A and B are shown apart, each in its own frame.
Chain A
Amino acid sequence: MTKKHPDVRFHCQKGGRCCLRKVPCPDDAMPLSKACCRGRVRICRIRGDRKTCARMAHLGLLPGSELELICPGRGNKCMVRVNGGTISLDRPVAEGILVTPA
């Protein structure tokens, strides 16, 4: 069974170490840790080591994905809802995820 994947455009950006980006990060992008409790956001970039990025990618935390924030930690820790599941992230991870309002 072969399925042609819908077209995805990749953008080239310098700097950062990881992961896939479909949308270039605008100037008003901010780390998830600062964006806490702001409702829906879109990931534009993820920084971190290769393993962490891969693990987050498997959980659906990829540049381009939309998140719903449920953040009782107010910046210390984040709870995000992605693909119907709730994932908790600690501060260093949340700091490495740049988001824009969706």
Chain B
Amino acid sequence: MSTHLNIALAGNPNAGKTTLFNHLTGAHQHVGNYPGVTVEKKVGICQHGDHEIHVVDLPGTYSLTAYSVEELVARDFLVNEKPDVVVDIVDASNLERNLYLTTQFMELGIPLVIALNMMDVAESRGISIDTERLAGLLGVPVVPIIARSGEGVDRLLDTVVQEAAVGRRPDPILLRYGSDLDEAIAAMVPIIEEHHLLTDTYPSRWIALKILENDEQIIDKASQVNPGVSERLLAISEEVTNHLMHTLDAYPEAVIADHRYGFIKSILHQGVITIRFVGDRLYTSDRIDRIVTHRLLGPLIMAAVLFGLYTFTFNYSGTLVDGLATLFATMGDMVDRSLPDGPLKSMIISGAIDGVGGVLGFVPIIMFMFFGIAVLEDSGYLARVAFMMDRIFHFFGLHGSSVMPFIISGGIAGGCAVPGVMATRTLRSPKERMATMLTVPFMNCGAKLPVLTLIIGAFFSTHQARYMFLATLASWVIALLAAKILRLTVLRGESTPFVMELPPYRFPTIRGLVIHTWERTWQYIKKAGTVILGISILLWAMMTYPGLPRDQLAGFAAERAQLLAASPPQVVAAMKKGSDDPAALRLAAAIRKIDARQAMAGLRNSAAGRIGVALESVSHFAGFDWRTNIALVGGFAAKEVIISTLGTAYSLGDVTTDKTTSLRQRLAADPHWNPVVALSVLTFIMFYAPCFVTIVCIAREAGSWKWAFFSMGFNTLFAFTLSVAIYQIGMLLGLGG
């Protein structure tokens, strides 16, 4: 008996696949009941008796056609990897739809065990299922389970092990699809078998069926392998398609689907299913939907829910955020005390601790927000938000499902474009997906928020909340307008129809919520530990090296020596002791001025400083000075860096204020800054090139660097144009005073 098994979990979206996967493997991975959320292949291991079972969680699909990436992924895995057993998770409360996929597994002839999930929900709806009879009629083992509680899972695994021990691959089921199609299949199968067209991978009848269904992947493969034979098969397919169109006004796939449903109905009507309640009884979910998606009440409830999420995230994460900030400050102090002055200490404090601490400081906010989103997602509400938002999004050339990536990227309050870009996988149309992917970086992510807070606090502190709200609103307006522009130009094309299954409302499980939240938070922490750490150190080096030339250093040293020599010795001694004698304080301030000028000259001479100065020739049109330029260039590496870089650049350059002055006060007092510059910088930061990690992510998701570079160029140009307009008009109107 084998001790090592490979199984795959397959089924409709929302049938409970991921819940079962979590139960089996305890894996840390993303779970949800938003349709189509599990796009990646997830693998885990579970031990059952002597058997080590490798479990693969396949994407949820309704069928095995080539219409979507998920369906292709699932189909290719089943055909190429040939798992020992495929566990087909079937929602017992929605049997007819779920068995549709089952019939397609049977057409493909794969070893199957049906896990009849949510038996409790079916019971509560008055549906009783005779599992023995269902198993008998289908010829496939059926095990009733409740994945949420784990009931029946052991029996399921026993059955899986038994089936794997038998080790047979069942013959594909032969369904009838009406005389016209049956005749066509009968004509095609001998041709396929004679020429061994793809028959080493797929059953011959299935190939014929797919060609009739106009399956692009199979038709392409067949044409590549044997163009001549494919032509003949396509000719048969075309003939029968024309005939069906002429006689039935129907494409073959509709006829085939109808016959599959007919087959399922004929099985269910043989005493498999008994419904105790009257047919048109409304389920609780539908009752909730009547209120929650009501034309007037719906948007109000949605606004309240989103506002609740905002409040929850920011009110409850505050203490943790402060705690983390204190922790990193203490770490910095410890390093400051224990290491001697020099480049290493400077690198650890300014490069590593400040950079990574700045990012990790957001972890509580990110965690609380992802928890809130996980609740909305797992309860089924987010799918309703997509449903309600579809009309607006449709107008801008996007899809209702685009709402989720926008929210994750910071559409409500903080977020991150990296998971946002990844979340676009739920979109089926490539052009809508691309438009969403290119516009989600316009949202105010968690890294931009503190920059916005800083600048708004410094220049518009009287209306801080209003400006923050306006910034959020502006990000949505600009993102949607940019999407519209993209969809009218480079991404022109038809909108996909919005046909989406709405999962029933469910109480989220604590386990699911914890896994979701942790999974996304961990992604963020990993980014801080790797990419941001590297970038922070690199930026630190760029802002430190090359140092000042010897003669300039000597010049500053001479200035200091001259100042000390000119002062009475007792004042110098008092200053060194740190006395608060007015003369000593004046001397200390004068020395600090020289230090600051030296640091400023050093920064200007550094690699980053030279870039900043070089960019000033262009950036002055938008009112940015060279120090802002350094921060903005740094922000391309990661937006979190903007604040720390501004902090370093302005603390170095500051000659008048003492050490305890905050960056906010320094900016407010700086002669280069005024409300118009602030607004111009603010606009640029909100809309310019996405950070480096997002760019990499876009390249990976879009499958080409072309779009990644496009996003960099398009966004920066767009943001710069806006900033120049704001600065020039603002200055003309004399608002810069």
Q: Do A and B come from one complex?
A: yes
Do A20 and B254 contact each other (CB < 8 Å), given the known contacts A88-B387, A89-B498, A90-B497?
Answer: yes
Bound-state CA distance A17–B93 (Å) is 34
Q: Is the CB of A60 within 8 A of B262?
A: no
User: Considering residues B94, B258, B294, which has the most beta carbons from chain A within 10 angstroms of its beta carbon?
Assistant: B258
Nearest chain B CB to A17 CB, angstrom units: 8
Is A21 within 8 A of B249, CB to CB? Answer: yes
Tell me the bound Cα distance from A95 to B282 in angstroms. Answer: 25
30 example contacts (A-B, Cβ-Cβ < 8 A) are as follows: A1-B173, A3-B267, A5-B178, A5-B259, A5-B263, A12-B247, A15-B249, A16-B249, A18-B249, A20-B257, A40-B280, A48-B497, A50-B253, A54-B67, A57-B257, A58-B257, A59-B97, A60-B96, A60-B97, A63-B250, A72-B295, A73-B293, A77-B390, A79-B289, A83-B97, A84-B97, A87-B500, A88-B387, A90-B390, A90-B498
- Tell which of A15, A21, A89 touches B248, judged by Cβ atoms closer than 8 Å: A21
**B225 on the interface (CB 8 Å rule)?**
no
- Among B214, B254, B286, the residue within 8 A (CB) of A86 is B286
Chain B residues engaging chain A, CB cutoff 8 angstroms: 62-63, 65, 67, 91, 93-97, 100, 106, 139, 173-178, 213-214, 246-251, 253-255, 257-259, 261-263, 265-267, 280, 282, 285-286, 289-290, 293-295, 298, 387, 390-391, 394, 400, 497-502, 504
Whether A93 and B254, one on each chain, are in contact in the complex, defined by CB atoms closer than 8 angstroms, is no
Contacts of B173 on A, CB cut-off 8 Å?
Answer: 1-3
A54-B251, A84-B97, A90-B497 given as contacts; is B502 within 8 A of A62 (CB)?
Answer: no
Q: A8-B258, A10-B247, A77-B390 are in contact. Are A55 and B93 (CB under 8 A)?
A: no
Partner of A52, one of B95, B213, B257, B497: B497
**Pair B100/A60 contact, Cβ less than 8 Å:** yes
Interface residues of A (CB under 8 A from B): 1-6, 8, 10-22, 39-40, 46, 48, 50-60, 62-65, 68, 70, 72-74, 76-77, 79, 81-93
Q: Which residues from chain A contact B267 at a C-beta distance below 8 Å?
A: 3
Q: Sort A-B residue pairs by CB-CB distance and give the 9 closest, nearest first.
A: A19-B254, A90-B498, A57-B257, A84-B94, A20-B250, A83-B96, A72-B293, A58-B63, A83-B97
Contact check, A53 vs B254: say whether CB atoms are below 8 A apart. yes
Known: A53-B254, A56-B499. 10 other contacts (CB 8 A): A20-B249, A46-B254, A54-B213, A72-B298, A73-B293, A77-B390, A81-B286, A88-B498, A90-B498, A93-B499
Closest A residue to B282 using CB positions:
A70
Q: Which residue of B lies closest to A88 (CB)?
A: B387
Cβ-defined contact, A20 with B497, below 8 A: no
CB of B259 within 8 A of CB of A62, answer no
Residues of B within 8 A of A50 (CB): 214, 251, 253
Q: Which residues of A contact B258 (CB under 8 A)?
A: 8, 20, 22, 57, 62, 64
**Most-contacted residue by chain A among B91, B97, B257, B295 (CB, 10 A):** B257
User: Quick check: B266 and A3 within 8 Å, CB to CB?
Assistant: yes
* A86 close to B502 (CB less than 8 A): yes
**Contact, CB under 8 Å: B257 / A86:** no
Chain A contacts of B176 at CB under 8 A? Answer: 2-5
Q: How far is the CA of A66 from the CA of B501 in the complex (A)?
A: 17
Give the nearest-CB partner of B387 in chain A. Answer: A88
For residue A11, which residue of chain B has the nearest CB?
Answer: B248
A32 to B673: give the CA distance in the assembly, Å.
Answer: 59
Point out the residues of chain B lying under 8 angstroms from A73, CB to CB. 293, 295
User: Cα distance A12–B91 when bound, in Å?
Assistant: 36
The answer to whether A59 touches B290 (Cβ under 8 A) is no
Say how far B74's CB is from chain A's closest CB, in angstroms.
14
A10 to B285, CA, bound (A): 35
Which residue of B has the minimal Cβ distance to A56?
B499
Q: Report chain B residues within 8 Å CB of A86.
A: 285-286, 289, 501-502, 504
B71 nearest in chain A by CB position: A58
Contact between chains at A18 and B254 (CB < 8 Å): yes
Alpha-carbon separation in the docked complex, A63 to B261 (Å): 12
Contact call B67/A5, Cβ cutoff below 8 A: no
Residues of chain A within 8 A of B213, CB atoms compared:
54
Given contacts A70-B290, A83-B94, A83-B97, contact A54 B253 (CB under 8 A): yes
**Min CB distance, B285 to chain A, in Å?**
7
Q: Tell me whether A12 and B253 are in contact (CB under 8 A).
A: no
B106 proximity list for chain A (CB < 8 A): 1
Contacting residues, chain A, for B96 (C-beta < 8 A): 60, 83-84
For A39, what are the chain B residues with a Cβ–Cβ distance below 8 Å? 280
Whether the pair A8, B262 counts as a contact (CB closer than 8 A) is yes
Distance, CA A51 to CA B174, complexed state (A): 25
Whether A85 contacts B259 in the complex (CB less than 8 A), given A18-B250, A57-B253, comes out as no
A54 to B257, CA, bound (A): 8
Judge whether B294 and A72 touch: CB under 8 Å. yes
Residues of chain A lying within 8 A (CB to CB) of residue B391:
76-77, 90-91
CB of B468, distance to nearest CB on chain A (Å): 32
Residue with the greatest number of chain A CB neighbours at <10 A, chosen from B97, B174, B266: B97
Contact (A6, B262) CB under 8 Å given A21-B249, A79-B387 = yes
Are B499 and A87 closer than 8 Å at their CB atoms? yes
Of B62, B254, B295, which is in contact with the most chain A CB atoms at under 10 Å from its CB? Answer: B254
Min C-beta distance of B60 to chain A, whole Å: 12
**In the complex, what distance in Å separates the CA atom of A62 from the CA atom of B294?**
27
Q: Which of A4, A17, A87 contacts B501 (CB 8 A)?
A: A87
